[in-house]
Amino acid sequence: MSKIADAWDLLGEGLEASNLVTCSRWASKRREMGAPFPGKYGWKYHPWVREILDSQASFNYAMKAAQLGITEVAINRALFVIDRLRRDVLYVLPTALNASDFSKARFNTALALSDYLKRLFTDTDTVNLKRAGANSLYIRGSRGDSNLKSIPVSDLILDEVDEMEQKAYLLALERLSGQVEKHVWAISTPTIPNFGIHKLYQGSTQEHFFFKCPRCNKWTEFLWPDCVEIVGETVHDPRCKESFLKCKECGRKLEHKAKPDFLRDAIWEVTNPAADSESRGFNINQLYSYTVTPGELVVAYHRGMGDEAAAKEFSNSKLGLPFLGEGAQVTDDMIDRCIRNHTTNDPRPEVGGTRLVTLGADQGKLGYISVVEWLIPEYDRDLNAVAIAKLLWFGKFGEEDWGILDELMREWQVLAAVVDADPNINEARRFARRFWGYVWLTRYRKGLTAREMSIAEEDNAPIAQVDRSNWLSCSLGRFKVQPPRIMLPRDISLEYREHLKNVVRTYEKDEFGNPKLTYVSTGPDHYTHSLTYAEIGLPLAAAITENQDITKAY
Ligand SMILES: [Zn+2]
């Protein structure tokens, strides 16, 4: 009897399975959810996920606010592709630790709640590899040496791209672009403009979620601040919770709790018709959320007043939009203000003269050099704070051509040269030994405060360890003050300008979840680092000349 019942079960399951051709239908049958919406997976409270789940486009980019059910979309896609489409999936998270947490928390929970999925996966013992019969789900972190390019899949899921090693995921995307069959889901809360998910989203259809206003019947969308009546004036104002949503077409109030009704038939609309329909982008904010109230949004908004880190958090996590703080990026206007009449061909310093010149080199396949003279109007313990920088020369060198640095040392009478230690540490050490006492290798290190420098000797070469953010703040800060504290030659190149503009100040969360200032690159940035290394050279050069009264030289 029980055998027959089993057979009926299997037959029923087979019939049902043949209907589960879309990811949304599949998920609604195969996934069981925990809090906050327990039971079968559904989209009543986040109707925007359905079309993202079922998109047939090759590239899908979701630029999203926090807690809108989008990560669950990524998990559903991964499981659906393995179960129904019988293909392997590479699921990438920012770090190996994130990957292992994901494997233990999200993946194992999905299995624990669903008997079907529990049976589907035949081997789940390995943290970063889950097998379902012949198919595999690879779970990887983007940082370190996990070589994403070498895992041969046509289905790639990138979860939180803005936190990833940018080179790693771009290589993984590049590898797929040559394939006929490919499916990418990249999702993230954005951070800064032209970076990570925002960069991907900009090249996409840029779809917004439109609904019919229940008051005026016009098609519209939720936008900040047009659609929120802000009540209350500060974070602690109890009236904030009286804030409410409104239609930007008719101005009438829309009930927060009625969202499941009026969003039920909402649709994704393309706002960038010029884009290839194979690159779909979706943007969604917390005004749509059923769990976040308008009052909570308003409190978060007030918190961002006069607090850049909180303003960023509001923009990124609540509005799903990138954020650029005041003065976060060097602009062309700032660069123009720094240009003076000198050129890189001006006469070189006299041998044995008193000019204070440092050199910074950012090495790699191509190395980038900045030669900087320092003008010191008054002597101070913190020379970097008082000195005016004058960029004398800049240029590049090939990885086989370290000899050029020797020539530049003599040509510019360099007192301190600072070169990054990696990737070619041996060449850097040899250079340091040729100019013993005048060359330092450098490496960025965590745990140092301000512009503190820790100098050690490693294999017969001095190595200066410094905090990256503080020194970038110092060198880039020169462009942002009025009057500027750096002078550029009038033949500064377009490339140098681009490298300066590509390093942008933002915030990341530290290990305790507190915002911490950091710099990210939106493109090539080597000249910026060479300039920063020249800046690090200033106190080192001053130490060499400390027995001379350098103030008299100027
Ligand atoms: Zn309306």
pLDDT for 332 equals: 97
pLDDT for 15 equals: 58
Give the distance (Å) from ligand 1 centre to CA of residue 222: 11
pLDDT in tens, 349-370: 999 888 999 999 999 999 999 9
pLDDT for 16 equals: 66
Give the distance (Å) from ligand 1 centre to CA of residue 298: 21
Q: Does domain 21-318 have CATH number 3.40.50.150?
A: no
Give the distance (Å) from ligand 1 centre to CA of residue 248: 7
pLDDT confidence bin for 550, thresholds 50/70/90: very low
Give the distance (Å) from ligand 1 centre to CA of residue 218: 6
9 vs 449, higher pLDDT: 449
Is 90 exceeded by the pLDDT of residue 89?
A: yes
- Ordered by start, the domain boundaries in the chain are 21-318, 332-553
pLDDT for 145 equals: 62
pLDDT for 176 equals: 84
Is 70 exceeded by the pLDDT of residue 11?
A: no
Is 50 exceeded by the pLDDT of residue 548?
A: no
Distance between CA atoms of 476 and 534, rounded to whole angstroms?
Answer: 12
Where are the strands (E) in 338-483, listed by range? 357-362, 366-375, 388-398, 416-420, 439-444, 453-458, 461-466
Closest CA to 402 of 440, 437, 434: 434
Give the distance (Å) from ligand 1 centre to CA of residue 44: 22
Give the distance (Å) from ligand 1 centre to CA of residue 252: 6
pLDDT for 56 equals: 95
Q: Write down the mean pLDDT value for the chain.
A: 92
Distance between CA atoms of 319 and 125, rounded to whole angstroms?
Answer: 39
**Residue % of the chain over a pLDDT of 90:** 79
Give the distance (Å) from ligand 1 centre to CA of residue 267: 16
Give the distance (Å) from ligand 1 centre to CA of residue 258: 14
Q: What is the pTM of this model?
A: 0.85
Give the distance (Å) from ligand 1 centre to CA of residue 253: 8
pLDDT confidence bin for 516, thresholds 50/70/90: confident
Give the distance (Å) from ligand 1 centre to CA of residue 320: 23
Q: Label residues 259-290 b or e (16+ Cβ within 10 Å = b).
A: beebbeebebeeeeeebeeebbbbbbbbbbbb
pLDDT for 177 equals: 78
Contact 90, 308 (CB under 8 A): no
pLDDT for 447 equals: 73
Is 60 exceeded by the pLDDT of residue 553?
A: no
pLDDT for 26 equals: 96
H or E element, residue 186: strand 183-188
Give the distance (Å) from ligand 1 centre to CA of residue 36: 30
pLDDT confidence bin for 270, thresholds 50/70/90: very high
Q: Assign 207 to helix, strand or coil.
A: strand
pLDDT for 554 equals: 26
The pLDDT of 296-316, averaged and rounded, is: 95
Give the distance (Å) from ligand 1 centre to CA of residue 244: 14
Please provide the CATH number assigned to the domain covering 332-553. Answer: 3.30.420.240
pLDDT for 150 equals: 80
Give the distance (Å) from ligand 1 centre to CA of residue 62: 27
